[in-house]
């Protein structure tokens, strides 16, 4: 039988969070779905589990169980990028790697035909485990014969296991507890009430009853565990990036000549992408400097494109802002593409009334010159305090406007990034006057409020009394009194 292996990086999002914050290793740690008190706990480490923090709890409830709990959000985009990076890493040990689509951190590997490269399958597994440990991941690896058997044993614990025959693998897999597998919690808890807590106990149940009561997904799990359903390995097919390189006779420092050389390399790259039916998503420009080594500068257009003028303009802007410590002795361009649209491949598209592509191009130029964080937009988020009710996120492209007809123009409350400290309020506004917005606004003549905002007891309790302050000139200012700090602050203007 062909040999198959399974690698399981346990609690993959949690390991990514701990790799981002290694100082948290000594504390209870959890991954939450949202960075707010009502965010749901998704993953926890052993210290958090010992304190009673379990997945499914709210963050505020978890803090009441573990006051020193550390928590963070791991975006899905980061998980996908790390899965892709691990897939590329595992491809160095076998030509066929299949990442589990619904369970990040689980990979199946083809373990056949490696006898000429490794002394044994144990040596092969040891090399992979050492490589993953070097990358900062704790993982278990099982070499066996079936997809389910290797998966169940890999999820059961950490370490390396190599089975010599299928019967040994099947016997070990039947001892695995169901709570170690990625099962629906309702199905798992129902079986636990019936005393079914292991794979072997699940196999003792009638298959027809499982299908009728729990549906096709549970029945498919039964068939996999029983060996009645065989799914071939579906390896990740990675296309080699298109790369062009040029070694220079003499070190080059002139920007115009460098651009000319880059242009000569870039056009064949773009033609190769077109043959694949792809558009350029990212261009990696690598410069080898005399005596100092390689330097990489990524260039990314606003949207995948086949227009060489746009990309070379971004390259020029990027080269103008970087400082080269020595002359360039070698150039290397690597193009990464995505499937091109029909319009990009030559079909005529009707020109839009507003050229959003030109706007995206302008944003791409700003990012190339000032960095990827130069263009951002505000996005609403769930936050208790006004300044936490929105976050800044990178703006990749301009979206078409969606205006609505309104009979009365809505007032806009413009919030300051940092509240401005104000002088103490007089006991009677008529007695001394209160200068809040500046001399051009005039003195405050009337206050509307208070509108009390209090809470945030889960971090540091806040109590604010907000007012709308009318000035003599007719402006409307948004101010508040911080009861804990005993000070007044200007938080924004209403326009």
Q: Residue 456's pLDDT band (boundaries 50, 70, 90)? A: low
Q: Nearest 5°: phi and psi at 342?
A: -65, -35
Q: How many CA atoms lie within 13 A of 30 on its CB side?
A: 30
For the residues 176-190, what does the mean pLDDT come to?
A: 80
Residue 175 included in any domain? yes
Residues 188, 266, single domain; the answer is no
For the residues 244-261, what does the mean pLDDT come to?
A: 90
Q: How many CA atoms lie within 13 A of 316 on its CB side?
A: 11
Residues 206, 119, single domain; the answer is yes
Residue 219 included in any domain? yes
Q: Read off the pLDDT of residues 401-444 as tens digits, 9 standing for 90 and up.
A: 777 776 677 778 888 878 888 888 877 665 556 877 667 767 88
pLDDT value for 103 = 86
Asked which of 226, 256, 282 is the last residue of a domain, the reply is 226
For the residues 473-486, what does the mean pLDDT come to?
A: 86
Residues 252, 221, single domain; the answer is no
Residue 445: which of 423, 468, 424 has the closest Cα?
468
Domain of 258: which CATH number?
Answer: 3.30.1490.100
Q: How many CA atoms lie within 13 A of 207 on its CB side?
A: 11
pLDDT value for 474 = 80
Residues 148, 191, single domain; the answer is yes
Strands (DSSP E) found in 159-205: 159-162
Residues 307, 353, single domain; the answer is yes
CA distance linking residue 227 with residue 490, whole number of Å: 69
Residues 215, 252, single domain; the answer is no
User: Are 462 and 456 spatial neighbours (Cβ–Cβ below 8 Å)?
Assistant: yes
CA distance linking residue 66 with residue 62, whole number of Å: 6
Asked which of 199, 226, 253 is the last residue of a domain, the reply is 226
The more confident residue out of 5 and 426 is: 5
CA distance linking residue 109 with residue 116, whole number of Å: 17
Residue 267 included in any domain? yes
% of the chain surpassing 70 pLDDT? 93
Q: How far is CA 133 from CA 9, 53, 56, 87, 148, in A?
A: 10, 27, 29, 15, 24
And the tokens for 42? 């998704």
Q: Residue 350's pLDDT band (boundaries 50, 70, 90)? A: very low
Q: What is the dihedral of CA 148, 152, 153, 155, to 10 degrees?
A: 140
Residues 140, 248, single domain; the answer is no
Residue 392 included in any domain? no
Residues 175, 248, single domain; the answer is no
Instruction: Among 3-12, 69-78, 456-465, name the one with the lowest average pLDDT.
Output: 456-465
pLDDT value for 320 = 87
Instruction: Among 101-110, 376-385, 387-396, 403-412, name the one with the lowest average pLDDT.
Output: 403-412
Q: Read off the pLDDT of residues 9-49 as tens digits, 9 standing for 90 and up.
A: 988 999 999 988 989 989 999 999 888 888 888 888 889 98
Q: Is the pLDDT of residue 142 over 70?
A: yes
Which domain, by its residues, includes 337? 242-358
pLDDT value for 347 = 45
- Could you report how far apart the first and last alpha carbons of the chain are, in Å? 74
Rounded to 5 degrees, what angle do the CA atoms 76, 77, 79 make?
65
User: Are 441 and 473 spatial neighbours (Cβ–Cβ below 8 Å)?
Assistant: yes
pLDDT value for 348 = 35
And the tokens for 359? 């706007």
Residues 96, 184, single domain; the answer is yes
- Mean pLDDT (the chain) is 85
Residue 279 included in any domain? yes
Other beta carbons less than 10 A from residue 488's beta carbon? 21
% of the chain surpassing 90 pLDDT? 24
Q: Read off the pLDDT of residues 304-339 as tens digits, 9 standing for 90 and up.
A: 888 888 899 999 998 888 888 888 999 999 998 877
Q: How many domains does the chain have?
A: 3
Residues 251, 347, single domain; the answer is yes
Instruction: Among 140-144, 159-163, 298-302, 321-325, name the one with the lowest average pLDDT.
Output: 321-325
Residue 437 included in any domain? yes
Residues 196, 263, single domain; the answer is no
Residue 447: which of 463, 431, 471 has the closest Cα?
471
pLDDT value for 458 = 67
Residues 94, 211, single domain; the answer is yes
**Can you tell me which residue has the tokens 């263009």?**
375
For the residues 190-211, what does the mean pLDDT come to?
A: 86
Residue 2 included in any domain? no
Quick one: which H or E segment has residue 166?
A: helix 166-174
Residue 475 included in any domain? yes
Q: Is the pLDDT of residue 241 over 60?
A: yes
Q: How far is CA 413 from CA 389, 405, 491, in A?
A: 13, 20, 10
């Amino acid at each position: 039988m062909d040999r198959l292996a399974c690698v399981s990086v346990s609690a993959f999002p949690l390991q990514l969070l701990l790799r981002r914050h290694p100082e948290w290793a000594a504390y209870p740690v959890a991954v939450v779905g949202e960075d707010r008190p009502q965010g749901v706990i998704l993953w926890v480490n052993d210290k958090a589990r010992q304190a009673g923090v379990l997945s499914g709890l709210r963050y505020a409830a978890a803090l009441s169980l573990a006051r020193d709990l550390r928590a963070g959000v791991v975006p899905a985009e980061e998980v996908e990028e790390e899965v892709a990076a691990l897939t590329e890493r595992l491809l160095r040990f076998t030509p066929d790697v299949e990442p589990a689509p619904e369970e990040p951190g689980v990979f199946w590997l083809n373990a056949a035909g490696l006898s000429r490269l490794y002394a044994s399958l144990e040596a092969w597994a040891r090399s992979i485990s050492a490589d993953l440990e070097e990358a900062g991941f704790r993982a278990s690896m099982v070499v066996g014969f079936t997809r389910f058997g290797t998966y169940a044993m890999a999820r059961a614990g950490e370490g390396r296991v190599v089975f010599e025959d299928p019967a040994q693998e099947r016997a070990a897999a039947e001892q695995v507890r169901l709570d170690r597998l990625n099962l629906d919690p309702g199905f798992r808890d129902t079986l636990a009430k019936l005393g079914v807590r292991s794979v072997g106990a699940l196999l003792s149940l009638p298959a027809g009853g499982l299908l009728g009561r729990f549906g096709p997904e549970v029945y498919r799990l039964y068939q996999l565990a029983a060996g009645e359903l065989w799914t071939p390995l579906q390896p990740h097919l990675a296309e080699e990036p298109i790369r062009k390189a040029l070694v220079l006779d003499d070190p080059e420092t002139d920007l115009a000549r460098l651009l000319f050389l880059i242009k000569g390399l870039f056009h064949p790259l773009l033609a190769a992408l077109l043959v694949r039916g792809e558009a350029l998503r990212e261009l990696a420009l690598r410069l080898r400097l005399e005596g100092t080594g390689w330097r990489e500068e990524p260039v990314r257009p606003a949207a995948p494109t086949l227009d060489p003028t746009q990309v070379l303009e971004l390259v020029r802007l990027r080269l103008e802002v970087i400082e080269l410590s020595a002359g360039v002795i070698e150039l290397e361009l690597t193009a990464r593409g995505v499937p091109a649209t029909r319009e990009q491949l030559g079909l005529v598209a009707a020109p839009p009334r507003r050229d959003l592509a030109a706007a995206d191009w302008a944003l791409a130029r700003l990012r190339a010159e000032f960095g990827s964080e130069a263009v951002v937009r505000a996005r609403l988020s769930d936050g208790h305090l006004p300044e936490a009710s929105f976050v800044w996120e990178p703006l990749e492209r301009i979206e078409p406007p969606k205006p609505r007809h309104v009979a009365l123009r809505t007032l806009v409350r413009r919030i300051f990034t940092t509240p401005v400290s104000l002088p103490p309020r007089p006991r009677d506004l008529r007695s001394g006057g209160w200068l809040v917005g500046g001399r051009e606004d005039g003195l405050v003549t009337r206050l509307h409020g208070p509108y009390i905002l209090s809470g945030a007891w889960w971090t540091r309790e806040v109590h604010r009394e907000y007012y709308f302050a009318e000035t003599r000139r007719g402006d409307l200012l948004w101010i508040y009194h911080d009861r804990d700090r005993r000070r007044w602050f200007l938080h924004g203007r209403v326009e």
